[in-house]
Amino acid sequence: MTIALNETHDASLRSWVTSANDGNTDFPIQNLPFAVFRRAGSSEAFRGGVAIGDQVLDLAALRAAGLLTGDAAGACAAAAKPSLNDFMAMGSTAWSALRLALSRLLRVGAAQKASVQACLLAQRDVEYSVPAKIGDYTDFFTSIHHATNVGKLFRPDNPLLPNYKWVPIAYHGRASSIGVSGESLHRPVGQVCGAGQTVPVVQPSRRLDFELELGIWIGTGNAQGKRIKVADAEAHVFGLCLLNDWSARDVQAWEYQPLGPFLAKNFGTTISPWIVTMEALAPFRAPFTRAASDPQPLHYLDAPAVWQSGSIDIQLDVLLETEKMRAAKQSAQPLARSNFVESYWTVSQMVAHHTVTGCNLQPGDLFGSGTMSGPTDESRASLLELTVGGKEPITLATGETRTFLEDGDAVILRAHCEKVGAARIGFGESYGRIVPAIDLT
């Protein structure tokens, strides 16, 4: 399914919320992403909201104001709940109806401006929750550059395993430890058995890493035993967010054979609060490409729409903020920049592959894209790659060095889409900070 451009994408649209019009905001009227929020420090119920400039449109308040009718009214009622699952389950017609209605209410000249204005809160005054109840979390491995860079560390002569170019590789992760931007995570503890050791020890990870990824939120699911065809897959996807798949590399090295990651990944995953809808991303679609010398997608992963517009041009950035930077009030330092267009597999192919067995996806299920490294040194999207397995430390502007993360370090992920003829839209940020490990005694 290809989402057609419509009036909500018009780059000339302006909002009466003036902060939405400055050209640098992540949240112009052409975006309108969804989150779940409440006033910071309050005991209020969480409810759905939409970002516009530096404000949040409170969907519960908007529903109470009675300004919406038809499909948009029903969609708003579902989106105003403490999680977005019911809204996600309604499907693309409802998602689009609410997005269109909100766009019209927020445009310059809207007759209902005063009533809608009463439903706004400043983003600086709110806190967020994970936007949906996540039934399952699956983390993919879709950057061939990441797979090659990591493979070279262990298999210099044969970095890619034989299945990589045929199968969208993934593992099932831990949904309960997914948290929202702003959280602190304890340094994980696990078994480590390093070079020259024959008996493992239990200790805090000394090779703690980040992974720059996108999160893919499932909207409508499928019945068990019914696969989703690749041509229909994106109709089942609600939208995308940022995702940091924290990784304890020393724990992972000991535990991952033969069944893959476990404790190295289960202690935390940090996502951005805002979900940018697939409809908002429509102007930034790009052709999917595959080298002629590579295996071509098997039939269940292949459709004309995949080749025409299966990729999405999203610029991704990761920054590091150390305790020293924070104390000196210095800006976080950029570490890497890459692009989702480099993904070896598309969103629709991930969905189709996940369900080819008849696996039933549900509203609110979350996929991770896998670490989105690109082809250059500057686009290596984890410290494992940036420091070549810890052998080449990074020197920061403060004079500090890093091979892996230290206590007090915060990792910030950001992303945006930008092209001539379209309004720039962004994802906000994912911010997570490492604090010392829990005492083992």
Known catalytic residues are 146
Is 154 within 8 Å of 253 (Cβ atoms)?
no
Q: Name the residue type at position 424.
A: R
Q: Name the residue type at position 67.
A: L
Both tokens assigned to 188 = 């994980």
The sign of the torsion formed by the CA atoms of 341, 342, 343, 344 equals positive
Choose among 183, 56, 88, 77: nearest CA to 129: 183
Distance separating alpha carbons of residues 17 and 241, to the nearest angstrom: 23
Q: Name the residue type at position 63.
A: R
For residues 105, 2, 220, 268, the Cα torsion angle rounded to the nearest 10 degrees is -90
Place of tokens 């020293």: 324
Choose among 145, 221, 215, 129: nearest CA to 413: 215
Distance separating alpha carbons of residues 318 and 386, to the nearest angstrom: 12
Choose among 337, 341, 318, 345: nearest CA to 379: 337
